[in-house]
Structure 1
Amino acid sequence: MNLNLDGKTAIVTGGSKGIGKGIARSLAGEGCNLSICARHIDELEETAEELEKLGVQVLVVEADLTKETDIQNVVNRTVDKFGTIDILVNNAGTVGEPGTIEEVSVQEWRDLFELNLFAVVSITKKVLPVMLKQNWGRIINISSENGTQPYPDMIHYSASKGALDNFSKGLSKQYAEQGILVNTVSPAFIETPLVDEMMQQAAEEQGITKEEAVKQFLSNKRPNIELGRPGKIEEVGPIVAFLASDKASFINGSDYRVDGGSVASI
Structure 2
Amino acid sequence: VGDVLGGVDILVHNAGGGRAHRSALAIPDDEWLDGLNLNYLASVRLDSLLVPGMLERRSGAIVHVSSAAVLTPVGPFLHYATAKAALETYSRGMSLELAPAGIRVNTVSPGRVASPGGV
Give the TM-score of the pair, scaled to structure 1: 0.42
Looking at structure 1, the residues matched to 33 and 107 of structure 2 have their Cα atoms a distance apart, in angstroms, of 22
Report 1 or 2 for greater relative contact order, CA contacts < 8 Å, sequence distance ≥ 6. Answer: 2
Q: CA RMSD in A?
A: 1.6
Gaps of 5+ in 2: none
Out of 28, 53, 59, the position equivalent to 1:136 is 59
Query: Contact 1:96 / 1:112 at 8 angstroms: preserved in 2?
Result: no
The 3 A distance-change label for structure 1 pair 84 and 113 is same
Separation in 2, partners of 1:102, 1:122: 28
Q: Residues 99 and 169 of structure 1: is their aligned pair in 2 closer, same or farther, counting only changes over 3 Å?
A: farther
Structure 1 gap segments, 5+ residues each: 1-75, 199-266
Contact 1:94 1:112 survives alignment (8 Å): yes
3-state secondary structure, aligned to 2:36? helix
Match of residue 109, structure 1, among 32, 35, 38: 32
SS at the partner of 1:102?
A: helix
Look up the SS of the partner of 1:88 in the other structure. strand
Change (3 A) 1:106 1:141: same
Are 1:79 and 2:3 an aligned pair?
Answer: yes
What is the one-letter code of the residue matched to 1:163? Answer: A
Aligned to 2:85: 162
Q: CA deviation at 1:166?
A: 0.6
2:79 corresponds to 1:150: no
Encode CA deviations 1:108-133: one digit per residue, 9 max, x unaligned. Answer: 10011111111110110111111011
- Equivalent position to 2:114, from 155, 166, 191: 191
Distance of 2:78 and 2:20 partners within structure 1? 10
Equivalence for 1:127: 50
| 1:141–1:168 CA contact under 8 A, matched in 2 | yes
Cα distance in 1 for residues equivalent to 2:21 and 2:88 = 21
Query: Residue type of the partner of 1:169?
Result: R
Give the aligned length.
Answer: 119
Give me the whole-angstrom Cα distance separating, in 1, the residues matched to 2:22 and 2:86. Answer: 19
Counterparts of 1:180-259 in structure 2, within 5 Å, are: 180-192=103-115, 194-195=117-118
The alpha-carbon distance between structure 1 residues 164 and 189, as it changes in their structure 2 partners (threshold 3 A), is same
Q: Any conservation in 1 of the 2:20–2:76 contact (CA below 8 Å)?
A: no
